[in-house]
Amino acid sequence: MEQKKLITRETTIEQLVELKEAAVGYLFQKGIRCIRCGEPVWDTIEAAARNVDYTEEEIDGLVDELNRLS
């Protein structure tokens, strides 16, 4: 049975951090600024990734990896 994804492209950074606190450091490692860097928390994961030129495939991979974070 497939696990339901909690995180999507439309998830805001604020929502993401509430779901998975470890995401802050993970996004930073991926070159995506978030709360720690003073970036807006209302951006979606997709918008934040596009700001650093992620491709469609890279955004999909990022979302999959975020869903697997513990």
Provide the pLDDT confidence category of residue 4 given band limits of 50, 70 and 90.
low
Helix (H, G, I), strand (E, B) or coil at 66: helix
- Name the β-bridge partners of 44: 12
- Confirm if 23 and 65 have CB atoms less than 8 A apart: no
pLDDT tens track for 10-20? 999 889 988 99
For tokens 């934040």, what's the residue?
48
> What pTM, to 2 d.p., does this model score?
0.81
- Residue 25 reports pLDDT greater than 80: yes
Residue boundaries of the structural domains of the chain: 13-68
Provide the pLDDT confidence category of residue 21 given band limits of 50, 70 and 90.
confident
DSSP state of 31: T
pLDDT tens track for 37-70? 555 567 899 999 998 999 999 999 999 999 999 7
Which pLDDT score is estimated for 1?
45
Distance CA 46, CA 2 (A): 23
